Structure 1
C-alpha cells in the first residue's frame, strides 16, 4: 500500500484478538485478482485514489461512528486467488 496511509490505519495483530471497550466491526474484502480491492480500501481510508494494486492485501483499521456509537472498523484486504481468500477471511483466528 502507499506510504500516504497514516500509520494509525494499519492494524497491529493484537487488535484482532484483544477485547476493547469500543466494539469492533470486522470487514473482509475479497474478489478477483486486480479487481481494485486495495484501491477501494485505500480510497475509503485516505480519500485518495491509488493506482497500484497491492497483491499482498493488508489489515487496516479506522474508528467510525454509527448512531453516535464509536466502533473500530477492522478491514482485511485479502490478496491471492478468491478460493484462498474465502478460507482466510472465514477463519476467526486469523
Structure 2
C-alpha cells in the first residue's frame, strides 16, 4: 500500500500465475504463458517487451529483450543430449526467426 492507501493489485490466471500487476502508483506489467505454463511474454511498466521461447523439454532456447526497439537483443541457448547448456549466444538487432 502506498501513502494514499492504494494497494498493488495482481490479476492471476486459472493456474494462479500472475497475468497483470497494477502497481499502487498506476504502472502495470503483464505476463503471458504457453499451454505448459511457461512464461512466453513479459511487458514491463515502461512498455518494453521480453519474449521467451522454450523447446519441447521446456528449456529456454531464446529470449528477445526490448523486442521491436533499436536496443533489441537476442539471447540463444543450446543444449546437449543431457539438457545441459552448451552455448549461449548474444546478438544485437538480429533477424528474428518466426
State the TM-score bracket (shorter-chain normalisation): under 0.3
How does the TM-score come out when normalised to structure 1? Answer: 0.26
Higher Cα Rg: structure 1 or 2?
2
Structure richer in strand, relative to its length: 2
Say which structure, 1 or 2, has more relative contact order (CA 8 Å, 6+ apart): 1
